[in-house]
Amino acid sequence: MKKEEMVGVYPFMRVALREYFHRGTSIESFLDSNEANLKQSVEQLSRIMNGEEITFSTDPEDRVVDYIITKIVLTYIRDYFISARYAIKERNALYENLKRENDPKTLKLVSQELNVDVEKQGENYLIPISPFLKNAVVFNDRELKLCNQVLKDGNVVASQNVLAKILREAFYRKYMQEVNEVVEFPQEVDKMLKPWVGGIISKGQEIRQERANLGPLNERSFPPCLAEIIDQMKKGANVSHAGRFFLVTFLHRIGLPNDEILKYFGKVPDFAEKITKYQIEHITGSGRGREYSVPSCQTLGSLGLCYKERDPLCASGKVSHPLGFYRTRNLGNRSVSKGSSVDGVDNPRNPKK
Q: What CA–CA distances, in Å, run from 166 to 94, 134, 146, 283, 329?
A: 11, 9, 12, 17, 40
With CA atoms as reference, report the closest residue to 271 among 302, 234, 296, 306.
Answer: 234
Residue 125 backbone dihedrals phi, psi, to 5 degrees: -130, 140
Q: Using CA atoms, how far apart are residues 74 and 148, in angstroms rounded to an integer? A: 37
Tell me, what DSSP letter sits at residue 152? E
CATH numbers and ranges of domains, the chain = 3-204 (1.20.930), 214-329 (1.10.579)
Q: Name the pTM for this structure.
A: 0.66
pLDDT in tens for each of the 353 residues of the chain? 677 778 889 999 987 677 666 666 788 999 999 999 999 999 999 998 877 889 999 998 899 999 999 999 999 998 877 887 898 899 999 999 999 999 999 999 999 999 999 999 999 999 999 999 988 866 557 788 888 899 999 999 999 999 999 999 999 889 988 998 888 899 999 999 999 998 888 887 776 666 555 666 678 889 999 999 999 988 888 888 899 999 999 998 887 878 888 888 887 877 888 888 888 988 887 755 567 889 999 999 999 999 999 999 999 988 899 999 998 887 744 333 333 322 223 334 554 44
In degrees, rounded to 5, the angle at the alpha carbon of residue 159 between the alpha carbons of residues 158 and 161 is 115
